[in-house]
Every structure is written in C-alpha cells, then in structure tokens.
Chain A
C-alpha cells in the first residue's frame, strides 16, 4: 500500500464547474498536508497547505482535512482552463514529503 493514495482520474470538468479531488494517507504520524499543482513538463508548485482538521479556503480553492479518517480533499470552484494540470497530494512527517501519484484534471472550455 502506498503511503498516499489519490483518486486515479483523469478528471474532466466543464469550465465553471467544481472539481473535487480526494486523497488518503496511511501514516497517522503525518503532521502537515499539502496540495501541489504540476503542469506538464514543469515542477510542482504549492497551492494549498492545511495543518488542522476542518476547511481552509484560499480564493477558488478549498482544502479539507479529517485526521481521524486520514483524508484530505481539494475543491476547485469555478474551474478555469488554466486549472488543467496534475494535482499532487503530499503529507509531511518531520521534514520528509510523501506524494501521491497525482490526479490529472482537464477543464473543458
């Protein structure tokens, strides 16, 4: 079992819709949780971080964390074609980041 699992995708959503991404992790010692966006051929870019249970909103992005269920999610509201990318869920214990395989999102104009 991989340490971080993401819904496999790819996920195709129409422009303006909500994209919903899910992630589970196996290490209960994980301390912080991140969502990175990676455009094809580019490096990962941090878009959201969340450290405690509940929701965190930043613009069109909302991250949710449930430590009891070992579950992290990302909602992208009002999806734009520029949101088309692979989204990587990552968890950290001390300094070590562990990533999921990513979910590829395509926003249809």
Chain B
C-alpha cells in the first residue's frame, strides 16, 4: 500500500464496551506510533513500537489501553471498558527507523465515539 491505513474509520461504542483499532503501516517501516487527538487539540503520544518491541508506552492514559504489534507490521490498539473520555481520533503513524529527523507518516485515523 502507498500509505498508512487504519480501520475502522469510525467506531461508535457503548460505554463499557471493548474496542480494537487496527493500523497497517507503510511496508518496510520499522517504527510505529499511536497518538490520540481530542477535538481542538494536537495529537498526544500514546505508544511507540520498533518492530514488535513496544519501547515506550508512557502515554497510554490508563491500564484499559493496550497495544500490540506481534509480527512487527500490523498493530492493534485495544481499549477495554470504554469511557466517554476515550472519545477522540486515534492516529497511527509510521517511520522508517524512528530517527529524530525522520518524517512520521500519519494514517487517516479512527474516530471513536463512546456513548
């Protein structure tokens, strides 16, 4: 694929429901990032993978949030027992190796609404 893809694009969940958001990075990109963007705000870092290793999960808001990338390509962000404050756009980004001068390419995002 030409870019980062994410699915679903939109998700409506009832409070308390579990959700899983998928990210397909650019082929060959070692580094993968998840961000959360609330309405009217910039993206906030959630977690970082290099291949299958989760090197930083300091931005995950609570232990209800869990991310994995078991084979070093596709990643899934899982939110358990969703709350209304989890409503946001979840963005996935990838870069070649994760260096400080590298471009992070963003996917279209998953817009999550928790009712």
Contacts from A to B (Cβ < 8 Å):
4, 31-32, 42-46, 49, 51, 88, 90, 92-102
Counting chain B residues whose Cβ lies within 8 A of the other chain, the interface size class is 20 to 34
Cβ A97 vs Cβ B45 within 8 A: yes
Cβ A95 vs Cβ B100 within 8 A: yes
Contacts from B to A (Cβ < 8 Å):
31, 33, 35, 40-45, 48, 55-56, 91, 98-101, 103-109
Cβ B40 vs Cβ A45 within 8 A: no
Given A43-B91, A43-B108, A96-B56, A101:B103 Cβ within 8 A: no
Q: Is the interface of B mostly helix, strand, loop or mixed?
A: loop
Tell me the nearest residue of chain B to A45, going by C-beta: B106
Top 8 A-B pairs ranked by shortest CB distance?
A: A99-B42, A43-B106, A95-B98, A31-B100, A32-B100, A92-B100, A44-B106, A99-B43
Tell me the nearest residue of chain A to B3, going by C-beta: A43
Chain B positions within 8 Å of A51 at CB level: 101
Among B55, B98, B101, contact of A49 (Cβ-Cβ < 8 Å): B101
Chain B positions within 8 Å of A96 at CB level: 45, 48, 56
Given A42-B108, A43-B109, A90-B42, A97:B33 Cβ within 8 A: yes
